[in-house]
Chains A and B, each alone.
Chain A
Amino acid sequence: MNVGHTRPEDAQEGDLHVRVPAVAGRLTGLRHALAEWSERAGLPPDDSEALILASYEAMANTVEHAYIGQLQGVLDLRAVRDLARGCVTVTVTDYGRWKPPPADPGTRGRGLPLIRGLTATAAITPSTTGTTVAMSWPLPTKP
Chain B
Amino acid sequence: MSSVSFRADPPTPGGFSVRVDNHGETVVVSVAGDVDLATAPELGESISTVLERRPGLLVVDLSEVSFLASAGMSVLIAADQQSGEHTRFRVVAAGNATFRPMELTGLTEMFSIYPTRDQALRQD
Q: How many A-B residue pairs have CB under 8 A?
A: 59
Q: Is A120 an interface residue (CB 8 A)?
A: no
8 Å CB interface, B90-112 against A:
96-97, 100-101, 104-107
Chain B interface residue count, Cβ-Cβ cutoff 8 angstroms: 24
Is B69 a contact of A53 with CB atoms below 8 Å? yes
Grouping DSSP codes into helix (H, G, I), strand (E, B) and loop, the B interface class, with mixed when no group exceeds half, is helix
8 Å CB interface, B46-76 against A:
67, 69-71, 73-75
Report the separation of the CA atoms of residues A125 and B50 in the bound assembly, to the nearest whole angstrom. Answer: 42
Grouping DSSP codes into helix (H, G, I), strand (E, B) and loop, the A interface class, with mixed when no group exceeds half, is helix
Chain A to chain B: the 6 pairs with minimum beta-carbon distance, closest first:
A117-B104, A110-B70, A107-B77, A111-B70, A107-B78, A110-B105
Residue numbers of A with Cβ under 8 A of B are 24-25, 27-28, 31, 46, 49, 52-53, 56-57, 60, 63-64, 107-108, 110-111, 113-114, 117-118
10 CB-based A-B contacts, threshold 8 Å? A27-B37, A28-B13, A28-B34, A60-B70, A64-B37, A107-B74, A107-B78, A110-B77, A110-B107, A111-B70
